[in-house]
Chains A and B, each alone.
Chain A
Amino acid sequence: MAMRNTQILDLTGHFNNDGISSDEDRTDGDFTGTGQTFPEEDLPPSNSRVTYSGVPFTFPDKSDGALNNISLEGQRLFVSKGYYERFFILGAADVTSLEDSLAVVSEQGMHHDLPLQLSSWRLGRNLKYGEIPAIRCSGFHFPSQHVNTERLDVTYGIWMQTILLPRIPITSILLPDNPGMHIFALTLEEEAA
């Protein structure tokens, strides 16, 4: 994917969910609300720079107890004021795929609603909303065990979703109140001058 200048948004202050646990302590975190988590061992290193389809992201801190994703609850993410072509999300919905809408907000406070669709972290055949399967895991963690799903041809993972933006200068992104949707990383692509 040909990319223009990108800006990786620092989401650390917005993280409110721990969705990752190590095999040493599978009780750490709760991605789904029912105790399931991503296996830390299957994910990129903490705070590392990762690239999927040419899009750079910073993968969050995976250590025990660390919050590492945003469970969407109407947070507002401030961005440097400017024109952007699109932004990319590393994320997934828990339990089931979800659709909602977010808003990009201009300096004057004008809201522009955009659809936000995230497939479930459980991938059977295809991702429901055309995301790119950025990270595939061997299964998931329950507090009691590592459930390996590879033999079932089912993977759990984190997907890259693309949101195309209108031609307006934006200052923030207003997320929906939809806690089943999770964002691990977000990168904006600037519009051509």
Chain B
Amino acid sequence: MKDTILDMPFSDCEYYPCELVALDSFLTYSGYDTPLLIHKEWHFRYTRLDNRPHIEFNRTSLEERLKQSGIRIARRHHPDVEFAWSRVSQILNAGHPVAILADTLILEQHYYPGRGHHSGHYIILAGIEDGGESVCVIDPSWIVRFKGKMPISSLKSAWQSQAISGCNWVETLLPAAPGIIGSEDVCDVITENCEFMGHLYESVKTGVAERDGHGRYLNLVSKQTDTSELLRLGEHFKDLTNQWIIFRNLCLRGQKRAQKDMASRLQKRLARILEMENEAFAMMTELLSRRQGILNIANQKMIGFNWWLTIPGLGSNLVDVSIAIHDRASEGLGRVPSGVFLC
């Protein structure tokens, strides 16, 4: 049997989850001009996990949106690798690529940059080679961009790895002729993201209140203890609160009025906020190390809000500042603004 290798392009989608990068390659290969559905202006992820705001892609809606353009995505799973391979090889032999979920630790033996731990990663199979002994693997992720052969036995090991609950693959069914992912879809995306802005707005509101509380509390303690460093830190938290309010206002406007550039505006603002959050953390750390004893700072305690936010172009960010003041002097303050930490 003659080997047929599909000429799959790499994706330009930087920072995207690997599954979407694979999908982008797939759609480009299939003749779609601009996969707007994963357009970087409008790629957000959101879900809630353990009562913490946690951002994750709304998978169902992606499938629904693609379905409107005649593109069907079917996520398959089968515990038996031989059964799964028979299905996937049929698709490959019919001349269609398939995305599969592989264990990166096993891929590391072949091409994947070493990280030394198990994790699931989507790669594309683009054909069978060497008379059925090898498979052509395309890893379109922007940090990897690998195209090469891999023995089928190795592929099966990476695929069926129990560390990632193998074997998972994605079958993508396209209409006979590539259509245009058109304006209706764009409207859907914008509408969805307006809803997302609403969620984000609600999430950030808590953070704003907390940061405001931190600033007020630190100012109060600084006055009681006559500590200028705490005053500076309090002022920093005040600025931080201002920045979060602006971020929240952007979300509010994005929710009320769809604006295509809102993602990049949020991104820009968030970059500044994260810088300031890091500065706050550094200031806290320094203060703790220098003022131990004087302020009776005994140990650390985690406070603050803590959530993941993924915005295209900036990747995922854990918004988390651990405030670690234990000031025995403050115990005598009696009244502390509500919502404020105290160890």
Contact = CB atoms under 8 A, between A and B. Distances in A.
- Which among B242, B245, B249 has the highest number of chain A CB atoms within 10 Å? B249
Given A33-B253, A33-B256, A96 B268 contact: no
A73 B252 CA distance: 13
Contacts of A134: none
B276 interface: no
Interface in B141-156: none
B246 interface: yes
B269 A177 contact: yes
B269 A180 contact: no
B245 A98 contact: yes
B265 interface: yes
Contact of B253 (A98, A99, A100, A179): A179
Contact of A33 (B239, B252, B265, B268): B252
B250 interface: yes
A100 B246 contact: yes
A178 B245 CA distance: 9
- Please classify the interface of chain B as helix (H, G, I), strand (E, B), loop, or mixed, using the class held by over half of its residues: helix
Contacts of B242: 98-100
A180 B269 CA distance: 14
A99 B244 CA distance: 12
Interface in B138-180: none
Contacts of B268: 177
A98 B255 CA distance: 20
B256 A180 contact: no
B245 A177 contact: no
A180 B265 contact: no
Contacts of B250: 177, 179
Interface of B: 239, 242, 245-246, 249-250, 252-253, 255-256, 265, 268-269
Given A98-B245, A100-B242, A177-B268, 7 more contacts: A33-B255, A73-B265, A74-B265, A94-B249, A96-B245, A177-B265, A180-B246
A-B CB proximity, top 10 nearest = A180-B249, A33-B252, A179-B253, A178-B246, A99-B242, A179-B249, A177-B265, A33-B256, A96-B245, A33-B253
Interface of A: 30, 33-34, 71, 73-74, 94-96, 98-100, 177-180
23 contacts: A30-B256, A33-B252, A33-B255, A33-B256, A34-B252, A71-B253, A73-B265, A74-B265, A95-B245, A95-B249, A96-B245, A98-B242, A98-B245, A99-B242, A100-B242, A177-B265, A177-B268, A178-B246, A178-B249, A179-B249, A179-B250, A180-B245, A180-B249
